[in-house]
Amino acid sequence: MMIGPVGFAAPWLLVALAALPVLWFILRAVPPAPIRRRFPGVALLLGLSDDDTVTDRTPWWLLLLRMLAVAALIVGLAGPVLNPQADPNERKTGPLLLVMDATWASARDWPSKTALIDTMLSEAGREARPVALLRLSDPEAPVFQSAEAWRTRLSGFDPQPWSPSAVDLVEVADTLGDEAFETRWFSDGLARPGRDALLTALEDRGQVTVYESPIPVIALSPATVSDGILNLTASRAVAGSVREIVVEAHGRDPSGAERMLATLPLQFEEGATVTSGELALPAELRARLTRFEISGQRHAGAVTLTDDSLRRREVALIGGRQDREGLELLSPLHYLEQALIPSADLLDGALIDVLPANPDVIILADVATLADAEQTLIEEWVDGGGLLLRFAGPRIAASDLSRSEEDALMPVRLRAGGRTVGGAMSWGEPKTLASFSEDSPFFGLDTPEEVTVSAQVMAQPDPTLASRVIAQLADGTPLVTRKRIGSGQVVLFHVTANAEWSTLPLSGLFVQMLERLAVSSAVALPDLTEMQGTTWQPVQVLDGFGRLDDAGTLPGVPGENLITDAIGADLRPGLYDGPDRRLALNVVTEDTVIEPAIWPAGTSVLGLARPNEAPLGGWLLAGAMLLLIADIVASLALSGRLMPVRAAALVLAGLMISTPADAQDKPALATSEVVLAHVLTSVDSVDQTAEAGMRGLGETLFFRTSVEPSEPIGVNLETDDLSVYPFLYWPVTPEQPIPSAEAYTKLNAYLRTGGMILFDTRDANVAGFGASSPNGQKLQRLARALDIPPLEPIPEDHVLTRTFYLLQDFPGRFSGRQVWVEAAPADAEQVEGMPFRNLNDNVTPVVIGGNDWAAAWATDTTGNPMFPIGRGFAGERQREIAYRFGVNLVMHVLTGNYKSDQVHVPALLDRLGQ
Amino acid sequence: MSQTAPTPASLRAKAEDQAGRLPPLLARAEHLAGTVLLGEHGRRRPGLGDDFWQYRPVQPGDERRFIDWRRSAKSDTQYLRQREWQIAQTVAIWVDNTASMRFSSQEDLPEKSERARLLSLAVSILLNRAGERVGLAGTSLPPKRGEGQLVRLAEALSEDSDEDYGQPETSGMTAHGRALFVSDFMGNIDKAKAALTEAADRGIQGVILHLLDPAEEAFPYRGRTIFESVGGTLAHETLKASDLRDRYLDRLAARKDELRALCATTGWQYGLSHTSDTAQSTLLWLYRAFDGGPLK
């Protein structure tokens, strides 16, 4: 049975609703009899009449409440379901195949897809249909099994960052078998080859329904660089109306944290499927980019990773000392500069200055001596991945560098003097280069005949020499040697960087060799021949949602596959580390064109939106229970018996909110008024006395001074903010817990910022604060973690003796003399003619005594003293002095050393000419 | 002190019951009084007494035998030694022992009568120590000094009355003596007024301690209720007790004001105390009130 969108499982139960009017009469009960109370004040009540009489019948709203509860109960038991899906007349049978594209383009609405699939699975489960789930991006032969089995696996299905190829789709069509089944295809909305063939194969086996999300697919092509400006291109499958997107450039900030570095807004014109924009970034910033992504798109096609091709390498050029007027063409760095300027950023400056910029390459042209500090720094830098490129020259040949011992920053030992061939004073012809061996990084480069070497430094034959030579002359003498240090390397050209010793710097080979050594960065993708035989290790891979994950144990990939193969399960998009460079493989490349899928006429294509089936019975039954509880409360309230219930509710509510509420109220009160606070010790009697003491002292201050404190506050050191209290009274009890480390941090901050704590051991200081009384021991343990300056017994000229009253004694309930305050500085001396020394310039952070001041100050709420002090009149006098001490103390806290400034009065009067 | 005609058995049981209650009451009162360390109950002015009060230069008309030679020998002028005036006063105590005092709103609070007895006995102990003569108002226990009087006081204070509300007793009070009235003053205020005025007319100065239960101050009742007096003679029914609260509190405040005004005109001291307060602070107040010391 259906009423509007609500269906009922047991509609006949609704008949019971007809019985509600009967209940109406039954429930009109008379409220319960009054309570009898004994109360002496009844004499004062006589003659008072009630303003409004309470009805003796159940009020209509209570009746309505009960009716609603019963009605909700009946309707709830009738099993209502909102938007019931399974109409028995349309019950379907037979196996069901759910096909998902599960590509990166599906990731944009993956949650709604899985939710819909989950609904369909639960339906199929109710109808006992066998189900198979097929992901085209990760195809397996469909296995029909119970829907529940698939439901448990569904949350583990994620979209893959690649698309199925036409070959994959044909394979899938072959595995379908002969059985007839219904198909529901969750498409990602993109056209791809082979799809129509698969659709035909599926339609042969039964009805096919396609589900497609209306959200448009937007993809981002890899960024390219031209003239230092980044070009970004985005494309969309369906040419629609004007649409604005934002491309975010992410990278590392100087501290190494991943963050957004720049944004570029792009706009699709109406009817256009492609848009592009330019982003100008400083080279520093560009070098730190790691990826671009379209804001708000959660799929791998909207993310493009960057690799070394965006970077310009930073090269620091360090030449030897210039001891003659610069002949430009003879400068050891001239040819290097010319070779590197097009493809690298050059750093100029002293070695020590450029090292912190962490350049990729440091070139030392004919530098023989390095200071110790420089040597150490460079070694660290090379060890961390730097490339140190050295050129020989007259200075190296003349020095003892790496002569008998191999220098740490030289690949080989050198023989003294070097050699000259083909010069005016020597026999023989200048030497040419031998072709590069296979394990040399220069392998494959041509060795032109015109490159000749007429002078060089010679490597000392060593066991390691052969493995370090990467280029040699025709006669076999090493020309370029290399040594690896840590993750970096040192390369030595045995000739000069200018044309003095060889013609190498004049040739194109020189530039190519620098390129191979990754001194200058090649912008173009390495070609196929170069990649042959190399292995590239994935470092980070993209998932279908465009998130970067650690590659983990994924195997390395042959270099040629990176260029020839399409991305797939064996070649995941991500970052790959190869020899000397890093390559990014993106989901969308420059050649990718995304087009919307066109389904043949007659295929039913549906959106993902679908009203959800919602059983309402549970909600209605819960509502009925709530109404019945409300009825109990209301009935109790009507009969005046709510007190215990309300008290219980209040206690519950109090438990839930008391701590935060206290924490909020206390500072609010304390910041609007001066508040005397005492530390809660967890001993009730002590806390009560302390509170009463603060109240009594507050009253005294109120009557006698312009300090008008509000009600005292008990402070919990663990939870409360201390900074709002000028003064804390801390009674010491042996039972109280030691505050936590955080509380001590707060206390120390409080003491350092001008707060004062009055410690009171309340034992008349019988032990002289030694460890022989429990309170004294406790005081020592409490104060151990506190930042307390050196203390001394209060001196006679301390400012506490005259902040308001002139005092020499500081009694509380006891009249011990020993009260300790911050010690005066050692150099404080009494000046002739002054009544007191010029002491500390601030408030003493602690006052420690044992006179139980709170007891002497304590008054009850009517202002009567709570504890007797001393004997007779002398006792009253002692109480008065105790109050005066309290007044002085609070004045000291609030006015600081104001009264100490009297020491300057004679000087001031003197200046006024009196 | 109206009591049903006692049979010998019930009399004996009652007597034992009373005797059983006496020592604890007396002990607690002693304990309470012990917290107040008193000097002798001096008058703070020169007069007849044992304690030294001050030295005063000799003036014309002073007898030479009063000169304190030891002091005078230290200077050129001659001094008299004066002693503090110590004089015994007569204090009459009236404690309301009617049914309305036997009420406590919470289990952990004492009944008002219990508190009233404790306080008055403690005051008696203090006064006795200070050398005053203490007795009960009325003719049952005339003022006397000594420990024996305290036992008799404790006995007399332990008696209960069946009446619902009491009024102060003024018979048997010494003219120009002191008096202490302890009650909740819930009954007819006119009788209390009359008694107080009569006492004041006879030159009696004293203290009124208005003792209330916290529930009587707060009136925390709600809903349909029948209020009954403790003795059961009065009853008042309401359908909504919370509505009566404000008007009840107004009446209570009016009663307090009336008592306060009465005390102001007669020169008595008025004190309000609740059974939830500590007995000690009330006792301190009482002691000061009698002592004429500073009052707040």
Query: How many Å is the Cα radius of gyration of chain B?
Result: 23
Interface test with B, best of A30, A35, A36, A44 (most B CBs within 10 A): A44
Say yes or no for a CB contact (<8 Å) between B219 and A867: no
Q: Is residue B68 part of a domain?
A: yes
The tally of domains found in chain B comes to: 2
CA nearest to B240, candidates A45, A780, A233 = A45
State which of A274-283, B24-33, B114-123 shows the largest mean pLDDT: B114-123
Helices marked H in A726-773 — which ranges? 741-752
Contacts of A706 (CB under 8 A, 6+ apart): none
Instruction: Looking at the structure, tell me whether residues B50 and B136 fall in a common domain.
Output: no
Say yes or no for a CB contact (<8 Å) between A37 and B251: no
Q: Which residues of A touch B278 (CB under 8 A)?
A: 860, 866
Distances (CA, A) of A124 to A87, A300, A892: 13, 32, 82
Torsion of CA B133, B137, B138, B141, to 10 degrees: -40
Instruction: Looking at the structure, tell me whether residues B56 and B119 fall in a common domain.
Output: no
> From the list A46, A862, A873, which residue is nearest B234 (CB)?
A46
Would you tell me which residues 166-185 of chain B have a C-beta closer than 8 angstroms to some C-beta of chain A? 184
Say whether A41 sits in a helix, a strand or coil: coil
Say yes or no for a CB contact (<8 Å) between B255 and A51: no
> From the list B222, B243, B284, which residue is nearest A643 (CB)?
B222
Q: Which residues of B touch A37 (CB under 8 A)?
A: 221, 225-228
User: Residue B21 pLDDT more than 60?
Assistant: no
Q: Residue B102: closest CA among chain A residues belongs to which residue? A: A40
Q: Is residue B25 part of a domain?
A: no
Q: Residue A696: closest CA among chain B residues belongs to which residue? A: B296
Instruction: Looking at the structure, tell me whether residues B113 and B241 fall in a common domain.
Output: yes
Nearest C-alpha of chain A: how many angstroms from B272? 9
> From the list A36, A866, A871, which residue is nearest B280 (CB)?
A866
Interface test with B, best of A45, A52, A700 (most B CBs within 10 A): A45
Task: Give the mean pLDDT of A623-643.
Answer: 78
Give the separation between CA B255 and CA A110, rounded to whole angstroms: 79
Looking at residue B39, its pLDDT comes to: 47
Q: Residue A47: closest CA among chain B residues belongs to which residue? A: B236
Q: Residue B223: closest CA among chain A residues belongs to which residue? A: A640
Give the separation between CA B54 and CA B46, rounded to whole angstroms: 8
Say yes or no for a CB contact (<8 Å) between B227 and A43: no
Instruction: Looking at the structure, tell me whether residues B198 and B103 fall in a common domain.
Output: yes
Say whether A393 sits in a helix, a strand or coil: coil
CA nearest to A132, candidates A143, A119, A118, A120 = A143
At which of B30, B58, B83 does a domain end?
B83
Q: Is residue B3 part of a domain?
A: no
> From the list A43, A54, A867, which residue is nearest B239 (CB)?
A54
Instruction: Looking at the structure, tell me whether residues B136 and B277 fall in a common domain.
Output: yes
Please write the tens of the pLDDT for every residue from A501-521.
888 888 888 888 887 776 655
> From the list A45, A864, A868, which residue is nearest B296 (CB)?
A864
User: Residue A734 pLDDT more than 60?
Assistant: yes
Q: Is residue B157 part of a domain?
A: yes
Instruction: Looking at the structure, tell me whether residues B128 and B212 fall in a common domain.
Output: yes
Say yes or no for a CB contact (<8 Å) between A39 and B103: yes
Domain that holds residue B57: 46-83
Between B35 and A261, the higher pLDDT residue: A261
pLDDT band at A748 (very low <50, low <70, confident <90, very high): confident
At which of B59, B83, B107 does a domain end?
B83
Give long-range contacts, CB 8 A cutoff, 24+ apart: B9-14: none
pLDDT band at B239 (very low <50, low <70, confident <90, very high): confident
Q: Give yes or no for A631 touching B (CB within 8 A).
A: no
Q: Which residues of A touch B237 (CB under 8 A)?
A: 34
Interface test with A, best of B229, B230, B257 (most A CBs within 10 A): B229
Instruction: Looking at the structure, tell me whether residues B161 and B184 fall in a common domain.
Output: yes
Would you tell me which residues 164-203 of chain A have a C-beta closer than 8 angstroms to some C-beta of chain B? none
Looking at residue A89, its pLDDT comes to: 46
Least confident span in A135-149, A205-219, A518-532, B194-208: A518-532
Say yes or no for a CB contact (<8 Å) between B252 and A44: yes
Q: Which residues of A touch B234 (CB under 8 A)?
A: 42-43, 46
Looking at residue A328, its pLDDT comes to: 61
Q: Give yes or no for A36 touching B (CB within 8 A).
A: yes
> From the list A43, A53, A862, which residue is nearest B229 (CB)?
A43
Q: Residue for token digits 């080279």?
A: A283
Instruction: Looking at the structure, tell me whether residues B52 and B94 fall in a common domain.
Output: no
Instruction: Looking at the structure, tell me whether residues B77 and B98 fall in a common domain.
Output: no
What is the helix (H) or strand (E) element at residue A80, kind and residue range? strand A80-82
Nearest C-alpha of chain B: how many angstroms from A913? 46
Nearest C-alpha of chain A: how many angstroms from B164? 8
Contacts of B33 (CB under 8 A, 6+ apart): B122, B123, B125, B126, B129, B283
Looking at residue B284, its pLDDT comes to: 81
Q: Is residue B230 part of a domain?
A: yes
How many Cβ atoms from other residues are within 10 Å of residue A48's Cβ?
Answer: 14
Looking at residue A376, its pLDDT comes to: 87
Q: Residue B294: closest CA among chain A residues belongs to which residue? A: A876
Give the separation between CA A893 and CA B92, rounded to whole angstroms: 50
Please write the tens of the pLDDT for every residue from A517-533.
766 554 455 666 767 77
Q: Give yes or no for B126 touching A (CB within 8 A).
A: no
Give the separation between CA A157 and CA A789, rounded to whole angstroms: 65
pLDDT band at A100 (very low <50, low <70, confident <90, very high): confident
Instruction: Looking at the structure, tell me whether residues B53 and B196 fall in a common domain.
Output: no
Say yes or no for a CB contact (<8 Å) between A48 and B215: no
Pairing of strands B205-212, B269-274: parallel
Q: Which residues of B touch A636 (CB under 8 A)?
A: none
Looking at residue B5, its pLDDT comes to: 47
Q: Say how far residue A589 (Cα) sits from the centre of its chain.
A: 32
Q: Which residues of A touch B247 (CB under 8 A)?
A: 48
Give the separation between CA A814 and CA A680, rounded to whole angstroms: 22
Classify residue B50 as exposed, middle or buried by CB count within 10 Å of its CB (0-12, 13-18, 19+): exposed
Q: Which residues of B touch A33 (CB under 8 A)?
A: 224
Q: Is residue B266 part of a domain?
A: yes
At which of B83, B112, B143 does a domain end?
B83
Instruction: Looking at the structure, tell me whether residues B106 and B202 fall in a common domain.
Output: yes
Least confident span in A103-112, A151-160, A284-293: A284-293
User: Residue A235 pLDDT more than 60?
Assistant: yes
Torsion of CA A825, A829, A830, A832, to 10 degrees: -150
Instruction: Looking at the structure, tell me whether residues B191 and B140 fall in a common domain.
Output: yes
Torsion of CA A40, A41, A46, A50, to 10 degrees: -120
Least confident span in A142-146, A584-588, A652-656, A694-698: A652-656
Q: Give yes or no for B5 touching A (CB within 8 A).
A: no
CA nearest to A396, candidates A458, A452, A336 = A458
Q: Residue A866: closest CA among chain B residues belongs to which residue? A: B281
Q: Which residues of B touch A860 (CB under 8 A)?
A: 277-278, 281
Say yes or no for a CB contact (<8 Å) between B280 and A641: no
Say yes or no for a CB contact (<8 Å) between B225 and A46: no
Q: Give yes or no for B14 touching A (CB within 8 A).
A: no
Q: Is residue B23 part of a domain?
A: no
State which of A106-120, A314-328, B83-97 shows the largest mean pLDDT: A106-120
Looking at residue B14, its pLDDT comes to: 59
pLDDT band at B49 (very low <50, low <70, confident <90, very high): low
Please write the tens of the pLDDT for every residue from B120-166.
888 888 888 777 788 888 778 888 888 888 888 888 888 888 888 88
Q: Give yes or no for B248 touching A (CB within 8 A).
A: yes
Q: Give yes or no for B189 touching A (CB within 8 A).
A: no
Q: Is residue B15 part of a domain?
A: no
Would you tell me which residues 226-245 of chain B have a C-beta closer than 8 angstroms to some C-beta of chain A? 226-230, 234-241, 243-244
Say yes or no for a CB contact (<8 Å) between A860 and B227: no
pLDDT band at B3 (very low <50, low <70, confident <90, very high): very low
Say yes or no for a CB contact (<8 Å) between B226 and A53: no
Nearest C-alpha of chain B: how many angstroms from A817? 22
Q: What is the CATH number of the domain that holds B175?
A: 3.40.50
What is the count of residue pairs from A and B with beta carbons less than 8 Å apart? 139
Say yes or no for a CB contact (<8 Å) between B248 and A45: yes
